[in-house]
């Protein structure tokens, strides 16, 4: 009888420990907030340390290589939480890597880059991306990364910025967060992922921010607050005499090519127009108006059926001129987003 009571106490104690651990994990991960950060990365001897007056920037949301043409996603009205299979992720990843030379740029901004997590069936998406740019500077910032959750359940997901020029500094600038948490337990930490570059023959800096704004905030209210914060940061940099490029996934319609579709309005709940009236005088929205950058994920992609529009692109300061901007049309084969490349010149 004594042995039975001892065992019972042990299992009750163990169960209590597990419950406390799970409660702590949920509490911590549901209340994560972005933190300001600055660093001066060591330069690579093979790279220049000044940016030319004309330069190129590309942006691409990779959808963690799990949201190719055959995927749907539950948050968008679909039925799947994970990609169709590990094979699908591997095929998407190989397609992404094969596309990189076509959009090669001085600075490359990537969003939704996951590494060895359930989201990508544990495919090393981020590591493969960094391997492709081993001869360049590259920087990762987690925006949806779990704490105190061990492999294989840990989530490691965020933005990657790559440069063939040595940046003078890297900076994290926090943005407003949504009131809730992803899947009820994981808080997404929104922030600008900023790179600063000295400019050849000028005292000013080129400031490039990689961003990925909220997508499923009720009524777009968080996105509006984030845009206010992004533009306030940009105007402060411009007031210092710097050149500013804001690039990434805005999750708001920058331009709409008006392509016919069959998607029911109930799946367009997250669609909101970018508030161009908030742009300060002289600032420009840079987008390819002829080719969409994103498709709905309520079902696998069917051309002419899924709604498509453009939410990926750039905002630039008045002292920059756009020479060209182009969205590469991949028919959403490897990601639910398509890459955008632009060429800018400093005035």
> Quick one: how far is CA 98 from the chain centroid?
20
pLDDT higher than threshold 90 for residue 9: no
- Cα 117 to Cα 142: distance, rounded to the nearest angstrom: 13
Residue 125 has a CB neighbour count (10 Å cut-off) of 32
Alpha helices in 30-178 (DSSP H): 86-99, 125-132
Mean pLDDT is lowest, of 5-14, 130-139, 161-170, 329-338, for 5-14
Tell me how far CA of residue 111 lies from CA of 205, 251, 263, in angstroms. 24, 12, 25
Q: 264-279 burial, b if ≥16 CB within 10 A, otherwise e?
A: eeebbebbbebeeeee
Q: Record the pTM.
A: 0.92
Mean pLDDT is lowest, of 3-17, 22-36, 75-89, 324-338, for 22-36
pLDDT higher than threshold 70 for residue 1: no
* Mean pLDDT for the stretch of residues 51-67: 97
User: Who wins on pLDDT, 218 or 80?
Assistant: 80
The DSSP result for 134-151, as a single string, is TTSEEEEEESS--SS--T
pLDDT higher than threshold 80 for residue 18: no
> Quick one: how far is CA 82 from the chain centroid?
18
Digit-coded pLDDT (tens) for 304-346? 999 999 999 999 999 999 999 999 999 999 999 999 999 999 9
Is 198:205 a contact under the CB 8 Å cutoff?
yes
pLDDT higher than threshold 60 for residue 24: no
* Mean pLDDT for the stretch of residues 155-160: 92
Query: So what's the pLDDT on residue 221?
Result: 93
Query: So what's the pLDDT on residue 21?
Result: 47
Mean pLDDT is lowest, of 145-149, 167-171, 187-191, 207-211, for 145-149
Query: So what's the pLDDT on residue 232?
Result: 98
- Cα 143 to Cα 188: distance, rounded to the nearest angstrom: 6
- Cα 273 to Cα 311: distance, rounded to the nearest angstrom: 9
* Mean pLDDT for the stretch of residues 188-212: 96
Cα-based torsion angle of the residue sequence 260, 266, 271, 277 in order, rounded to the nearest 10 degrees = 100
User: Who wins on pLDDT, 16 or 178?
Assistant: 178
Digit-coded pLDDT (tens) for 234-288? 999 999 999 999 999 999 999 999 999 999 999 999 999 999 999 999 999 999 9
Query: So what's the pLDDT on residue 144?
Result: 81
- Cα 189 to Cα 310: distance, rounded to the nearest angstrom: 24
| Band of pLDDT at residue 155, cut at 50, 70 and 90 | confident
Q: Which two tokens stand for residue 95?
A: 């397609």
Q: Is 297 exposed, middle or buried (0-12, 13-18, 19+ CB in 10 A)?
A: buried
The DSSP result for 248-272, as a single string, is EE-SSBSB---------GGGGTT--
Query: So what's the pLDDT on residue 31?
Result: 61
Query: So what's the pLDDT on residue 151?
Result: 74
CA atoms within 13 A on the CB side of 152: 7
């Amino acid at each position: 009888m004594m042995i039975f009571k001892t065992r019972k106490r042990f299992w009750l104690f163990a169960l209590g420990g597990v419950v406390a651990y799970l409660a702590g994990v949920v509490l911590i991960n549901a209340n994560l907030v972005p933190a300001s950060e600055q660093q001066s990365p060591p330069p690579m001897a093979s790279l220049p340390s000044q940016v030319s007056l004309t330069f190129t920037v590309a942006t691409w949301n990779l959808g963690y290589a799990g949201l190719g043409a055959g995927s749907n996603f539950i948050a968008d009205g679909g039925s799947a939480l994970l990609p169709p299979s590990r094979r699908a992720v591997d095929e998407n990843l190989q397609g992404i890597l094969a596309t990189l030379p076509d959009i090669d740029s001085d600075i490359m901004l990537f969003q939704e880059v996951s590494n060895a997590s359930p989201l990508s069936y544990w495919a090393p998406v981020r590591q493969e991306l960094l391997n492709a740019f081993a001869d360049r500077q590259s920087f990762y910032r987690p925006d949806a990364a779990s704490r105190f959750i061990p492999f294989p359940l840990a989530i490691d997901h965020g933005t990657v910025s790559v440069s063939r020029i040595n940046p003078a500094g890297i900076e994290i600038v926090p943005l407003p967060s949504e009131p809730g948490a992803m899947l009820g337990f994981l808080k997404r930490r929104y922030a600008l992922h900023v790179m600063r570059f000295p400019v050849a023959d000028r005292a000013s800096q080129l400031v490039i921010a990689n961003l990925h704004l909220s997508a499923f905030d009720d009524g777009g209210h968080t996105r509006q607050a984030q845009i206010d914060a992004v533009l306030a940061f940009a105007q402060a940099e411009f007031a210092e005499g710097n050149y500013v490029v804001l690039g990434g996934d805005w999750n708001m319609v920058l331009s709409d090519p008006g392509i016919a579709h069959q998607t029911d309005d109930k799946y367009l709940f997250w669609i909101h127009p970018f508030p161009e009236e908030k742009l300060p005088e002289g600032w420009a929205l840079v987008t390819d108006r002829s080719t969409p950058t994103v498709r709905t994920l309520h079902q696998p992609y069917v051309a002419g059926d899924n709604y498509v529009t453009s939410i990926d692109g750039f905002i630039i300061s008045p002292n920059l001129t756009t020479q060209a901007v182009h969205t590469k049309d991949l028919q959403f084969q490897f990601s639910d987003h398509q890459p955008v490349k632009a060429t800018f010149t400093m005035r």
